[in-house]
Amino acid sequence: MNTLRFKARPQSSGLAIGFLLLLAFLLLASIDTSALFAQDGGSEAKAKDPLTIKLLEMDLLAAARMITKHDLDDDGTLSKSECERLHWNSEVIGSFDLNRSGDLQYVEVTLKLAAEREEAGIVQMDSILADRYTSRYDSDRDGKLQLDELEDNTFSDQIDSYDRNSDDELSSDELIRGLASERKFRDLLGIKGCDQGGAMSLINRGDGDGDRQLALDELEAIALELSVMEFDRNSDKLLSVSELAEYLADRRMRMGMTPSDQLLARNLIRKADQDGDGLVPATLFQQAGTDSDLGSPDENGDSSLSLLELETYLAKRRKQLGFDDEAAQRASILIARNDSNSDRKLSKSELVASGANRDSPLSPERLTLVDQDGDSEIDMQELARFIQKTRRP
């Protein structure tokens, strides 16, 4: 796949992008698209319905960049000969030539790149992170990352595996694909962005010798117990970013926290810890809202809150809430979509107006099941609890 990040970002507005998306839809809807395949360099891939391809901003920008670079006759399209210079054979061109014009127009190039991106499992965040890391570590500003430029980085301990062509540097495409591959592996282990970020922070704080890892004698400085070495998967007596991220994910899930709980606790410490001792005033968190039924977050009564005390309290609150971040997000979307009077609740009339069937959590027939306080309305927390309870495994 060709480069997905751009050194020079073309100027575009939300209106322009919206117009291009509409144009893509109209073009796809007006012609026979059954022959579209997600292919790379001519190798046949699984057929994909073009209407299921989700176009991202990175696809639009990638297509614009590609046409700018490879449209030699400046007609706004990639001709057959121009495509062949990219090693796109006639089969590939035909698969994406939706209007059968013999060349690939901007929308068609965008769809080709989007299909390849989806096939590789790349999401917008991978591109955002690639831009962020390139901006930080590309000391010679050549748009690539030399491996020696990454000697002091902590965002991954798998950098060498990113270098697909073994040239000791990472192109934009290699960096994006490497980040995507590592993200998918982390997902299998239950590692979220907050865990990866937390691991990077721990190494930045505790790595005294600059090897981007934590040794036994470096754990005490950042208040990590020796038991964390159970996650030393390669038994080298050092903890890498990925090993620390796995530890933090395991700890978070055992405590019963969601990623939003974890980030809230860390942000409170980061913003209010004036002297760097890892403690914040207990009154600060009380202002953010506590539940007397859960007891005080200040368990030792010293009028200060440590990260552990904050996490312990938030874990208790999460258990009381009875839903995770995913259920909360879904409930918020459903309420925003159907809340006609903007009171952040759904009445029976609003449930009826939603047109939901009997299997939906918004079915009027389920009002009494979802409405836990008996006020004949459904708020976000009630709906989120119901979604969590009825979610299929």
Report whether pLDDT(350) > 90: yes
CATH class as words, domain 257-321: mainly alpha
| Boundaries of every domain in the chain | 14-120, 125-188, 193-253, 257-321, 325-390
Tens digit of pLDDT for each residue in 149-158? 787 777 888 8
pLDDT value for 272? 87
Q: Are strands 145-146 and 345-347 parallel, antiparallel or unpaired?
A: unpaired
1-10: average pLDDT: 35
Q: How confident is the model at residue 216 (pLDDT cuts 50, 70, 90)?
A: very high
Q: Residue 96's closest CA among 61, 50, 43?
A: 50
User: What's this model's pTM, rounded to 2 decimal places?
Assistant: 0.72
pLDDT in tens, 117-131: 999 999 999 999 999
Q: What is the pLDDT of residues 67-114, one digit of tens each?
A: 999 999 999 999 999 999 999 988 888 888 888 999 999 999 999 999
Judge whether residue 161 has pLDDT over 50. Answer: yes
The CA–CA distances, whole Å, from 11 to 8, 91, 295 equal 9, 33, 53
Residues 325-390: name the CATH superfamily. EF-hand (1.10.238.10)
Residue 143 pLDDT > 70, yes or no? yes
- Mention the CATH class of domain 14-120: mainly alpha
pLDDT at residue 60 is higher than 70 = yes
pLDDT value of position 30 = 40
Q: Do the first three CATH levels of 14-120 and 125-188 match, i.e. the same topology?
A: yes
Classified by CATH at the fold level, domain 125-188 comes out as Recoverin; domain 1 (1.10.238)
pLDDT class of 290 with cuts at 50, 70, 90: low
Q: What is the pLDDT of residue 48?
A: 64
Indicate the CATH number for domain 193-253. 1.10.238.10
Q: How far apart are CA 316 and CA 299, in angstroms?
A: 13
List Cβ neighbours of 142 (8 Å cut-off, separation of 6 or more): none
Average pLDDT, the chain: 84
The percent of residues in the chain predicted with pLDDT above 90, rounded, is: 60
Position 289 scores a pLDDT of: 53
| Confidence (pLDDT) at 273 | 87
